[in-house]
Amino acid sequence: MSFTPGPEAEELRAVVRGFLEKRCGESDVRRWMETDEGYDPAVWRQLAQELGLQGLAIDERWGGSGASTVELGVVFEEMGRVLYGGPFFGTVALASTVLTCLDDEAAQERHLPGIASGETLATLAWGGADPLSSTLRAERGDGDGWRLSGRAGTVVDGGVAGLVLAVADTPAGLGVFALDGSDGLTRTPLTALDMTRKLAALEFTSASATAVGTPGAITEGLTRALDIAVLALACEQVGGAGRVLEMAVEYANTRVQFGRKIGSFQAIKHTCADMLVAAESARSTAYYGMWAAAHQPDDLGVAASLAGSLCSEAYTRCSLDNIQLHGGIGFTWEHAAHLYMKRARSSQRFLGSPTRHRARLGDLLEIAEASA
């Protein structure tokens, strides 16, 4: 049994890395982060039409490739490595995963083909800190429709998403609702710490929507989708941690002080070694999580909680050590180190802090011990 990606996944990695290095370099990332959209539509179309990444984990009957979460994790790792800021996370990790896990064939038929082709940009919105306790409210409208009210304060890719899936409370319990129009929906762009990932606040004022799944019976499917999204974020963090480690080692082997390369100093050696341990531990945890999602779903909650805690802390530590190791140049706007640090800091709070993930992990392990 091996938790590492197999030969086909590694071939996919090589293709994705080659494309991203050509089309999503640091200069491209800096240019896109200054725009309102935060991405290049031409690159987005190539990701869908030439590489098929938006539909990678979507079933073939809806225009996707039907790949597993293992291959999807490899893609997110490579995107985290270059700080890709397009609406891939909102569309694929959040919206597409929720549609797949809720098993509503009508909603899947309506929305997944557009996501797979790259035509539909999508995201998931909720009110408050936790999707499973969303403060948004949904009430019955005319016919089979629903009306949503409330505010989602921080929504990834919320400014550009044509399809918004909103988690809202109903008299029957929690529900997920699809809005593919602007009726009753107000979007306000937010200034974020991480300028490479665009955020927006969404205000729902009796917004018309359609239920995805059955309100009151979606908690299990939504929880699974959120666990996969946490693992996708963990893979992003692994990619970023690996890249800043490369940057630190490269600088240590080229920067000369007192007539010696700084990599020969014991303190620098120890820092790089600690970064390697943190990055590789995070990689193992994220890989196991994606393997569990594909092959051992009963362990998904534990694996996602573990990865959500360890990977975010490893990325933050490595990004800060990278700045410290670079010295004065590492603190400048012109150097890329701060971009990775900001991504690490912002993603550490998204989809649950390390403390929340550890608390959930403890609860799940206690449940597992009680049932053993």
* CA 230/CA 101 separation, integer angstroms: 14
Strands 256-257 and 199-212: unpaired
Q: Where are the alpha helices (DSSP H) in 266-353?
A: 266-295, 300-326, 337-347
- Looking at domain 220-371, its CATH class is mainly alpha
- Please state, for a pLDDT cut of 70, what percent of the chain lies above it: 98
CB 172 within 8 A of CB 235: no
User: Would you place residue 319 in the very low, low, confident or very high pLDDT band (cuts 50, 70, 90)?
Assistant: very high
CA-CA distances (angstroms) from residue 135 to 54, 271, 329? 29, 43, 44
Ranges 46-55, 171-180, 240-249, 362-371: which has the least confidence: 362-371
Tell me the three state secondary structure of residue 194. Answer: coil
State the pLDDT at residue 134: 94
Owner of token pair 């086909």: 8
Instruction: Give the highest mean pLDDT range of 101-105, 127-131, 229-233, 257-261.
Output: 229-233
Give 77-114 pLDDT, tens digit per residue. 999 999 998 999 999 999 999 999 998 999 999 999 99
pLDDT of residue 162: 94
CB atoms within 10 A of CB 24: 23
The tokens describing 169, both together, are 């409370």
Show the beta-strand stretches assigned E in 21-145.
Answer: 122-125, 137-140
Asked if the model's pLDDT at residue 287 lies above 70, the reply is yes
| Residue ranges covered by each domain of the chain | 7-117, 122-217, 220-371
Residues 246-252: contacts with CB under 8 Å, at least 24 apart: 247/322, 247/326, 247/336, 247/337, 248/272, 248/275, 248/318, 248/321, 248/322, 248/325, 248/326, 251/325, 251/326, 252/325
Q: How many CB atoms lie within 10 A of CB 238?
A: 29
Q: Over the stretch 159-169, which tens digit does the pLDDT of each residue have?
A: 999 999 999 99
Distance CA 337, CA 335 (A): 6
Q: Which amino acid is at 127?
A: G
Report pTM: 0.94
Q: Domain 7-117: what homologous superfamily?
A: Acyl-CoA dehydrogenase/oxidase, N-terminal domain (1.10.540.10)
Please check the confidence at residue 343 and state whether its pLDDT lies above 90: yes
Cβ neighbours of 335 (radius 10 Å): 17
CA–centroid distance for 182 within its chain: 25
pLDDT band at 2 (very low <50, low <70, confident <90, very high): low
The CATH superfamily assigned to 122-217 is Butyryl-CoA Dehydrogenase, subunit A, domain 2 (2.40.110.10)
pLDDT attached to residue 107? 95
pLDDT band at 3 (very low <50, low <70, confident <90, very high): low
Q: What is the CA radius of gyration of the chain?
A: 21
